[in-house]
């Protein structure tokens, strides 16, 4: 039986050429797999037909938008996932859902190898291959660009020679990856980190310099997941799409960062993630109201490690799975409403309320009705500071007290002392 290779297929030049390139180099039959995670562009049926026209023996296509939003974006939202405190894992989140469908197709069509279009210097090769072998250790991985020397000029020449139904003359200076959670832009003149992004870089967001009238929005959450916007029920996918539209119109979610890649190099990346950034800001503020202090403090460390694991391609790892359990438990009471104003590139929280709130007005107020017993404070401070006080006394006893400086006292203090 002829060996089969499953190829992650986007419908573009490199993966279209990759179908024949892999077949010529390995003698294997190629099954193209296209997964819609909200990247827009062409219809899945058009992509399926093109894959077959380019030589694929089978074409597997999947509308995974709801799956991606619910099973991947929502856990990231609950974890407030921001790599280097800024990047909401736009590309990293989409890879495991694509991997899942690649492995499913490999099993369905009896393939022994899974191929992808990544280069040898990026993060995605790791995300694809570690993900694939985590789900199916018996499958082999192949990267035509990295392993079979499929360069862009060779791809164009091959496509023209084989008369493949794919555009080969259009040149885009940027490398772009996008899905419903956001959009990633790199290469071209952006590789000079002194160059500022030009207007043509952006698609998901309007220029925040000239914003329309401020937009007020109320987001309802249940256990850390948005379930309504301005009182209208939404699915996770609809919540992201609606916030992409409204926050994007205000220029919210533009990110320009020099990022630490997994492979050890620094890379300049520009992102647009209006819906993701607005939803994360709202979710963080609702957690401030509903999550107990020590749990919240510990969760911040878990969030960072969770984010690093996902960025590094370890979505299916045992540690990530364990951290999922902790994050999910913290969301038990993260239900309520957050009001935000979207304007001029900012998503600003202006109100929050929850039946599970830990905020007690009567404890917090300084006005009449204050129920906080201030007489307890003195004893609390004495006990709280006791270990520091004892340590300081020991330091003084051994001549290691804090140096308060030897300069002359200010004139007013010297006079008072005298």
Dist CA 257 CA 237 (whole Å): 27
Dig out the tokens for 156 from the structure.
Answer: 């164009």
Q: Is 359 one of the annotated binding-site residues? A: no
Q: Is 104 one of the annotated binding-site residues? A: no
Dist CA 15 CA 25 (whole Å): 15
52-56 CB contacts, 8 Å cutoff, 24+ apart: 53/164, 53/165, 54/16, 54/17, 54/19, 54/20, 54/164, 54/165, 54/166, 55/19, 55/20, 55/23, 55/30, 56/7, 56/9, 56/19, 56/30, 56/31, 56/32
352 is catalytic: no
Among the options 48, 50, 65, 95, which is catalytic?
95
Q: Is 123 one of the annotated binding-site residues? A: yes
Q: Is 175 one of the annotated binding-site residues? A: yes
Among the options 63, 175, 230, 394, which is catalytic?
175
Q: Is 158 one of the annotated binding-site residues? A: no
395 is catalytic: no
124 is catalytic: yes
Q: Is 384 one of the annotated binding-site residues? A: no
Q: Is 267 one of the annotated binding-site residues? A: no
Q: Is 117 one of the annotated binding-site residues? A: yes
Number of DSSP helices (H) and strands (E) in the chain, helices first: 16, 14
Q: Is 70 one of the annotated binding-site residues? A: no
With CA atoms as reference, report the closest residue to 236 among 65, 356, 30, 366. 65
175 is catalytic: yes
Q: Is 63 one of the annotated binding-site residues? A: no
Among the options 4, 14, 183, 254, which is catalytic?
14
- Torsion 245-81-69-328 (CA) sign: negative
Q: Is 13 one of the annotated binding-site residues? A: yes
Is residue 174 within 8 Å of residue 201, measured between CB atoms?
yes
Q: Is 271 one of the annotated binding-site residues? A: yes
Among the options 36, 94, 124, 254, which is catalytic?
124
Which residues are annotated as part of the binding site?
Answer: 8-16, 87, 117, 119, 123-124, 127, 175, 259, 271
Annotated binding site for ATP: 8-16, 117
Annotated binding site for L-aspartate: 119, 123-124
Binding residues for L-citrulline: 87, 123, 127, 175, 259, 271
Q: Which residues are catalytic?
A: 14, 95, 124, 175
């Amino acid at each position: 039986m002829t060996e089969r290779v499953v190829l992650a297929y986007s419908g573009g030049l490199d993966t279209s050429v990759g179908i024949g390139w892999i077949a010529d180099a390995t003698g294997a039959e190629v099954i193209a797999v296209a997964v819609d995670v909200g990247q827009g562009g062409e219809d899945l049926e058009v992509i399926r037909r093109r894959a077959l026209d380019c030589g694929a023996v089978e074409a597997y296509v999947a509308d995974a938008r709801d799956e991606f939003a619910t099973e991947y974006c929502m856990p990231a939202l609950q974890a407030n996932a921001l790599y280097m405190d800024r990047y909401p894992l736009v590309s990293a989140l989409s890879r495991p859902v694509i991997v899942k469908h690649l492995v499913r197709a490999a099993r369905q069509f009896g393939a022994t190898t899974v191929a992808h279009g990544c280069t040898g210097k990026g993060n995605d090769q790791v995300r694809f291959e570690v993900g694939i072998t985590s789900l199916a250790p018996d499958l082999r991985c192949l990267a035509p660009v990295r392993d079979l020397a499929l360069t862009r000029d060779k791809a164009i020449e091959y496509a023209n020679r084989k008369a493949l139904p794919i555009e080969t003359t259009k040149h885009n200076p940027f490398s772009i990856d996008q899905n419903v959670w956001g959009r990633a832009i790199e290469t071209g003149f952006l590789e000079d980190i002194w160059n500022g992004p030009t207007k043509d870089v952006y698609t998901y967001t309007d220029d925040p310099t000239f914003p329309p009238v401020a937009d007020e929005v109320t987001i309802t959450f249940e256990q850390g997941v948005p379930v309504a916007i301005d009182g209208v029920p939404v699915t996770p996918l609809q919540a992201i799409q609606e916030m992409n539209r409204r926050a994007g119109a205000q220029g919210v979610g533009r990110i320009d960062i020099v990022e630490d890649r997994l492979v050890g190099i620094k890379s300049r990346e520009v992102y647009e993630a209006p819906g993701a950034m607005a939803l994360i800001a709202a979710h963080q503020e609702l957690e401030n109201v509903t999550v107990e202090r020590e749990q919240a403090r510990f969760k911040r460390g878990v969030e960072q490690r969770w984010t690093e694991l996902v960025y590094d391609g370890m979505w299916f790892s045992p540690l990530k799975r364990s951290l999922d359990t902790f994050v999910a438990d913290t969301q038990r009471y993260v239900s309520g409403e957050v009001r935000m104003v979207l304007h001029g590139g900012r998503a600003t929280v202006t109100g929050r309320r929850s039946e599970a709130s830990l905020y007690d007005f009567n404890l917090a107020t300084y006005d009449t009705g204050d129920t906080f017993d201030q007489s307890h404070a003195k004893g609390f401070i004495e006990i709280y500071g006791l270990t520091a006080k004892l340590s300081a006394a020991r330091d003084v006893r051994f001549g290691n007290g804090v140096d308060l400086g030897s300069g002359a006292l200010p004139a007013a203090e010297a006079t008072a002392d005298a």
